[in-house]
Chains A and B, each alone.
Chain A
Amino acid sequence: MATDAQALKGHLDVLLLATMADGPRHGYAIREALRDGSGGRFDLPTGTVYPALHRLERAGLLAGSWSTVDGRRRRTYRLTDEGRRKLAGERANWRGFARAVTALLEGDPWPATP
């Protein structure tokens, strides 16, 4: 969905990081996790996923390593400590943001602070 792709833009990095929260994955598995984890809604062209992984690795949020599988070279990514911190921070931000948007769109009263 084009509007989803547009809305996804600013969140792609953190969603990619989230797919590695439970352990290392390679590019294809990351793309699959993104698609399956969103119920098929975030079905990105693979050409977008790999360059983003390389950029996140250069930023120190991911660490990549090579292995050989079925005679092919495979690059697998895992979260670095910095990547984990970034993911935790973005999760907290998102919760706050989503709560505020939901309160406004749904007309729910803002939860009273004790």
Chain B
Amino acid sequence: MAGHALIAAYVSDLARRLPADTVAELADGLEETFEHYRRLGTSPAAAAAAAVAEFGRPEQVASEFTRQSPGRRAALALLATGPLFAVLWGTSLASAQAWTWQIPIGVALAFGAALVGVAAVLVAVVLSRSYARTRLAGPACGILVLLDAAMLATVALVAPVLTWPMAMAIPASCARIVLSVRSVPRILAG
């Protein structure tokens, strides 16, 4: 058994921060680096220290994985396109005089609260330094799909006429539903 207590401690630190498969991959790389230094004639303690130094601090490694995680990237994409959706649906609802529609106020408020909740979770994901927390983007994407679907259903059932802003908002929401559904498994597996 190769290895060194310093490397074992480093790997268990990573294991608290990253998924098991990623830790196994990094552990293999650390052992390879350790053995590389051993072949050069370095002492075990110095080889372990050099291997650990080459990898960088565990929190740095974990934060780089977090920064490039599928959850964070999805959250960034949804937040970046959010204002466009706000404008599209805002003008759609205004152009169709949505305030005259027969929708219970409680339902409308619940919709708004859910939307704000999703946005808050996405912001938290983008700002988070914990890899595990980036997976929250998965459920947030799922709820956003339901909200998009609910909006489309409402328009289909309640809107008296199709206005031109709706002709842009509807395909945009359909596209967001498809992209979100596709990204959820990737986020949860990531």
User: Are both chains from one complex?
Assistant: yes
- By secondary structure, the B interface counts as helix
Looking at the assembled complex, report how far the CB atom of B53 sits from the nearest CB atom of chain A, in whole angstroms. Answer: 9
Instruction: Name which residue of chain B comes closest to A64, CB basis.
Output: B25
Whether the pair B54, A45 counts as a contact (CB closer than 8 A) is yes
Determine the chain B residues whose CB is within 8 A of the CB of A70 once the complex forms. Answer: 2, 31
Across the interface, do B56 and A45 meet the contact criterion of CB distance under 8 Å? yes
B29 touches A50 (CB 8 A): yes
| CB-based contact A47/B28 at 8 Å | no
| Residue in A closest to B67 when the chains form the complex, CB atoms | A51
Interface centre among A27, A50, A74, A75 (most CB of B within 10 A): A50
CA distance A18 to B35 in the complex (A): 25
Q: How far is the CA of A26 from the CA of B36 in the complex (A)?
A: 15
Instruction: Say yes or no for B61: interface residue by CB 8 A criterion.
Output: yes
- Report the minimum CB–CB distance from B137 to chain A (whole Å): 14
The reply on B68 being an interface residue by CB < 8 A is: yes
Check A47/B55 contact, CB under 8 A, given A28-B28, A28-B32, A75-B25: yes
> What are 8 contact pairs spanning A and B, CB under 8 A?
A26-B28, A26-B29, A29-B32, A47-B60, A47-B64, A58-B190, A69-B28, A75-B28
